[in-house]
Amino acid sequence: MTKGVLRLVLILIIAIPVVVYFTAWDYYAINIPKWDDHPLKGFIDEFAHATNWNGKLAALIKQHNEHRITLTRIFAWWDYAVFGSLNYRHLMFIGNLLLVGIIPLWYVILKNNKKPLFALVPVPFLLLTLAMWENMYWGMASIQNFGVVTLVLWTIYLCVNPSNYLFGLSIPLALLAVFTSPNALFVLPIGAFLIALTRDRKRLALYAAASIATIFFFFKSYVRAEYNPESKASFFQIVKGYMAFLGSFAESFPVLDNFRVCFLLGCVLFLVAVSIVSTTLFRIIRNKYTVKFEKITDLFCLGAILFILGTALIVVYSRAGFGIEGLVTSKYKIYSVLLLLVAYLYVVIPIRGSFQSSYITAIVFLAVVFNIFSYHYHLVDAFNLRKMLVTDQFNWTYENKDLKAKEDTAFAANVMAKTPVIYEKWLSLISIAERQTYAGSSRGLVKLYDETSFQKEANSFRVENKTFTSQRLQDSGIYILFSSKDRYYIFPADRTRNKSRKQLFLKQYYFAPGFHADIPFNKMKKGTYNVALVRQDGEQTGILFKNVKVDVPEVGENKVKVNW
C-alpha cells in the first residue's frame, strides 16, 4: 500500500467517529429550547431593537446567571439574521462543530512531534461519543460547554507558540473564551504562567495587560448569582466527587457500580496528571530540549491539565450541593475525556521505533471499544431527553381544551423557527379518545394499560410498567396524557437501559422491559384528571383512557433564581 493510499485510509477511519457522532446527533436533535435556551429569544429581541452599538454590546455581554454567554449570543443572532428565525438545532450543530475543533489541535501537536497520522486515530473515537449527550442536544450549553474547552486549548497552544502572529491570535481567543464561559478565566493566569516559563518578558507583559483588561470587563457590573444550594458534603465526599468527576468518562463501562469505577479511574487520572505536571515542570525549568517543539508540547500539556484540574475544583465546589453523584453527569464529562486525551499525548509522543505501531494499535482498539460502550450506554439518555423536550413544549403551548396555541404577537414569542413535532399527529386523536376512550391504530393498548400501575404519592403521580418490550427509537414509546375540564398535559414515560450485556451488544436491545414516570404535581394545575396512555409505535399512534383518575392538589412550583 502506497503512502498516499494509506493516508486516505487513515483519514477515512478518522472520519468514521465524526460521521457516526453527527448521525446520532441528527437523529435525536430537535428544535425545542431547553431551560437556559429560552432567554436567547429575549436577547434577539433586545439586540434587534437596540438603537445604538452600546445597547447591542450590552445585550451581547449581559450576565446570564454567573456566565457571560457572548459567543452563544453571537451565533444566535447570526442564525436569526441569516435564516430569519432562531433554530436551536443550528446552535447545537455549531457547538458540536466547536468540539470537533479539538481534533486538528491534536493533529498539529502529534505531527510536530513527528508522530504518524495513525497516532491521531484514537482521538476522535475517545472525544466524539454519545457520552456528551446533554451538551449535544442543548443549544446554549453546546456552544458554551464545548466552545470554551476548544477556545481555551487553542489559546494555551498559541500563547506558547514561537510565532508572534500566533501568539497575537491567542489574546482575542482568550477574551472570547472568557466571554463564552467563566471557567475560561483560568486561561489568563495559566497563560501568563506558561509564558513566564518561556522567559519572554515582552509577551508576558502584553498577555498580562490583556488579561487584566479582560478581567475588568468581565466583572464590571457583575452580580453574584444566588441559586446553588449550600453544600452539605463532607471533605471526604468532596474529594470523592472530585475524583469521580475526573474519571467520569468511564461511566459507560459495563459494570454494576459505575460511580465507583469513575472514582477509581479518576484517582488514577489524578495521579497521572500530578506526574505530568511535576515531570514537565522539571524539564521546562532545566530547559534542555533537543527539539524546540518538545518544550511547546510540555507547556501545552501543563496548561491543559491545570485548566482541567482547576475547572474540576470549581465545578465540584459549586455543584456538590446538588449531590456528588451528579458530578459524573454528561454535561461535565468533556473534562474527564480531555484529561484522558492529554495523558494519551504524554504516553504516545515519547514512543519511538517499531514498537510504536503496535502500541498505538492497542490504544486504537481500546478507544473503539470505549466508543461503542458509550453509544450503547447513553442512547437511552438521548431517547428520554428528546421525549422530555417534546412533552414540555406541548404543555407550555396548549393551555386549553381546544388544543389551539395561544396567539402571542410579541416579537420574542415569534423568533423561534417552526418545526414539526410528533404530538401534532395526536391533536385530532386526543378529543376522540376522550369521548370514546380510544383513538388511533396502535394495538395492544388495553393489555398494556392493565399491566401498568398508577399510584398517587404525596407530591407526585407514579406510573410503572414492567412488561413493555418495544425497542423502537426516537419518538416511539409511551406517554402519559392527563385531561381535566380545563386542559391537557402530556408527560414522557422514561425507559431504563438494558443491564443484560448479551442482549445489549448482540441483539441491540437497548431498553430493559417496562417504563416508568414520576410526575410532580407542581408541573400541573390543581384539578381532577383522567389518565390515558399514549403509545407511539413507529408511525402508528394509540390513545386509551380507562378508569384511572387523579386529584392534583395545589402545589407551588420551586423556581430557580435567575438573573434573566
**Which tens digit of pLDDT belongs to each residue from 158-217?**
999 999 999 999 999 999 999 999 999 999 999 999 999 999 999 999 999 999 999 999
Q: Reduced to 3 states, what is the DSSP secondary structure of residue 324?
A: helix
pLDDT at 184: 95
The three cell numbers locating residue 449: 394499560
Q: Reduced to 3 states, what is the DSSP secondary structure of residue 480?
A: strand
Indicate whether 375 pLDDT > 80: yes
pLDDT at 322: 72
Q: Comparing C-alpha atoms, which of 149, 144, 37, 32 is closest to residue 386?
A: 32
Identify the weakest region by mean pLDDT among 312-326, 329-343, 504-518.
312-326
The CATH architecture that domain 420-552 belongs to is: Sandwich (2.60)
Q: State how far the Cα of 49 lies from the Cα of 55, in Å rounded to an integer.
A: 9
Q: What pTM did the predictor assign?
A: 0.93
**Position 46: which residue type?**
E
Indicate whether 555 pLDDT > 70: yes
Mean pLDDT (whole number) for 126-152: 96
> Radius of gyration of the chain from Cα atoms?
26
Please report which helix (H) or strand (E) contains residue 166, including its range.
helix 164-178
Instruction: Give the confidence band of 302 by pLDDT, cuts at 50, 70, 90.
Output: very high
Angle at 58 between CA 56 and CA 63, to 5 degrees: 135
pLDDT at 558: 60
Q: In what order do the strands lie in the sheet with 460-465?
A: 452-456, 460-465, 515-520
Measure Cα distances from 90 to 30, 83, 84, 97, 166 in Å. 10, 10, 13, 11, 30
pLDDT at 280: 93
pLDDT in tens, 379-402: 999 999 999 999 999 999 999 999
Q: State how far the Cα of 89 lies from the Cα of 202, in Å rounded to an integer.
A: 44
Q: State how far the Cα of 188 lies from the Cα of 171, in Å rounded to an integer.
A: 9
Q: Comparing C-alpha atoms, which of 156, 160, 161 is closest to residue 174?
A: 156
Cβ neighbours, 10 Å, residue 432: 13
pLDDT at 357: 86
pLDDT at 232: 67
pLDDT at 551: 95
pLDDT at 564: 53
Instruction: Give the confidence band of 230 by pLDDT, cuts at 50, 70, 90.
Output: low
Mean pLDDT (whole number) for 140-152: 96
pLDDT in tens, 25-36: 999 999 999 988
**Which residue, chain included where needed, has cell 446554549?**
140
pLDDT in tens, 401-411: 999 888 888 88
Residue 416 DSSP one-character state: B
Q: Is 234 left (phi over 0), alpha (psi -120 to 50) or beta?
A: beta
Mean pLDDT (whole number) for 365-376: 94
The three cell numbers locating residue 78: 447570526
CATH 2.60.40.10 domain locations along the chain:
420-552
pLDDT at 21: 97
Q: State how far the Cα of 501 lies from the Cα of 486, in Å rounded to an integer.
A: 46
The full DSSP string for 403-463 is --PPP---TGGG-BPP---GGGGTHHHHHHHHHHSEEES---HHHHHHTEEEEE-SSEEEE
